[in-house]
Copies of this chain bind each other. A is one copy, B any other.
Amino acid sequence: MGVSLKDVAQRAGVSIKTVSNVVNNYPHVTPQMRARVQQAIDELGYRPNLTARHLRKGRTGIIAFAVPELGNPYFAELAGAVIDAAAVHDYTVLVDHTAGLREREVLVSQEFRAHVIDGLILSPIHLENEDLLARQESSPLVLLGEREYEAPYDQIAIDNVAAARTAVRHLLDLGRRRIAFLGSRTSRERRPAHLRLRGWREEHAAAGLRPDENLVVATEGYGRADGAAAMAELLERGERPDAVFAYNDLIALGAMRTLTERGLEVPADVAVVGFDDIEESRYGAVTLTTVSPDKPAIARLAVDRLVERLAGGTLSEPQRIRPGYRLIVRESTRTRRTGA
């Protein structure tokens, strides 16, 4: 094994405690003693064993961040933001992905590296409320994402219904009346939350319109391929929307690809709005209008919340925190054809 405190102490001819004091920058150490110990440390190439420190302290300084899919740029960008936010508090981040499978989400929330991680930030897709209520683990958990739960955990998520309504409003203002919704969930679910779909319905209703439910297309997943397939399905059914509101940017991007292939123009024939504002949206041949959640804020809020609970200070009630968002209008909805 490596060099331990004991070895250094022996070398420097002092006690373990003194070495520990030096290593931990304990103030009451005479400069000459510090120098002597430091020399021994350098000579031996001593490096503290963090595992031992963790065991002793009961904390590791590691938090976990679990997302459905790192291949989805939204989550990758968010992961980057979480790592940065955690670094501010000297926390390191263990990243895992669940493929959005309920089973794996449950597993992660229950016992992921127990005692190795101090806390968990989880962005679930198929996790159910009952799974959370059945959770044994005592370490803090912060939830991210579209779904809302009735469980005693902090949840960080933008107001998805309102954000979706803003997006649909924008399309309605453009004069579009056949607005498709791409990306509703296909799997059987107890609480079909579908916040963004609900926003689509509500905004139509608010405008005194009845949306055509035939324009709602479910997808298996949330990737570009799913969006492309959904769009193709819609067109093959003979539907001709004049706008698309997608569950997320990837689906929107996939849909745009299908539109291009079929010779339909964006936005002239079909206007498209996505959700997430991944960087890719700003660089396509036609840039994508999208709902942009404040990712750094989400990451910061989640980490801060977790760190706060870990510090164990005044433990406030679990909160539902709503970071900001903006609709970013780009070429995919920038058209002359305007008004109702």
Query: Contact residues of A with B, CB < 8 Å?
Result: 1-2, 45, 47-52, 54-55, 58, 60, 62, 69-71, 73, 76-77, 79-80, 83, 92-97, 111, 113-116, 136, 138, 223-224, 228, 253-254, 256-257, 260, 279-280, 282-286
Contact call B95/A93, Cβ cutoff below 8 A: yes
- List residues of chain B with CB within 8 A of the CB of A253: 280, 283
Contact among B77, B93, B111, B257 with A47 in the assembled complex (CB-CB below 8 Å): B111
Once A224-B283, A283-B257 are accepted as A-B contacts, the answer to whether A50 and B116 lie under 8 Å apart by CB is: yes
A261 to chain B, nearest CB (A): 9
- List residues of chain B with CB within 8 A of the CB of A60: 51, 116
- List residues of chain B with CB within 8 A of the CB of A55: 49, 51-52, 54-55
A60, A95, A228: which has the most chain B beta carbons within 10 Å?
A95
Contact call A95/B94, Cβ cutoff below 8 A: yes
Contact call A80/B69, Cβ cutoff below 8 A: yes
Which residue of chain B has its CB nearest to the CB of A45? B136
Contact call A97/B83, Cβ cutoff below 8 A: yes
Docked Cα-Cα span, A149 to B167, in Å, equals 50
Contact among B45, B62, B76, B286 with A76 in the assembled complex (CB-CB below 8 Å): B76
Total identical chains: 2
A130 to chain B, nearest CB (A): 18
Contact call A113/B50, Cβ cutoff below 8 A: yes
Contact among B51, B256, B260, B284 with A257 in the assembled complex (CB-CB below 8 Å): B284
Once A95-B83, A284-B284, A285-B284 are accepted as A-B contacts, the answer to whether A115 and B69 lie under 8 Å apart by CB is: no
Docked Cα-Cα span, A62 to B94, in Å, equals 9
Docked Cα-Cα span, A71 to B74, in Å, equals 9
- List residues of chain B with CB within 8 A of the CB of A2: 115, 138
A233 to chain B, nearest CB (A): 17
19 contacts between A and B (CB under 8 A): A2-B138, A45-B136, A47-B115, A49-B115, A50-B115, A50-B116, A51-B60, A55-B55, A70-B76, A70-B83, A71-B76, A76-B76, A83-B97, A93-B94, A93-B95, A93-B96, A224-B282, A228-B283, A257-B285
Q: Which 4 A-B pairs have the closest CB atoms?
A: A76-B76, A285-B285, A95-B95, A70-B80
Which residue of chain B has its CB nearest to the CB of A69? B80
Docked Cα-Cα span, A10 to B52, in Å, equals 26
- List residues of chain B with CB within 8 A of the CB of A96: 83, 92-93
- List residues of chain B with CB within 8 A of the CB of A260: 285
Docked Cα-Cα span, A234 to B254, in Å, equals 31
Contact call A51/B115, Cβ cutoff below 8 A: yes
Which residue of chain B has its CB nearest to the CB of A65? B95
A206 to chain B, nearest CB (A): 33
Docked Cα-Cα span, A253 to B71, in Å, equals 18
| A-B contacts besides A51-B116, A52-B115, A284-B285, 17 pairs, CB < 8 Å | A2-B115, A47-B114, A49-B55, A51-B54, A51-B60, A54-B116, A60-B116, A62-B116, A70-B83, A83-B96, A92-B116, A223-B279, A253-B280, A257-B283, A257-B284, A284-B284, A285-B286
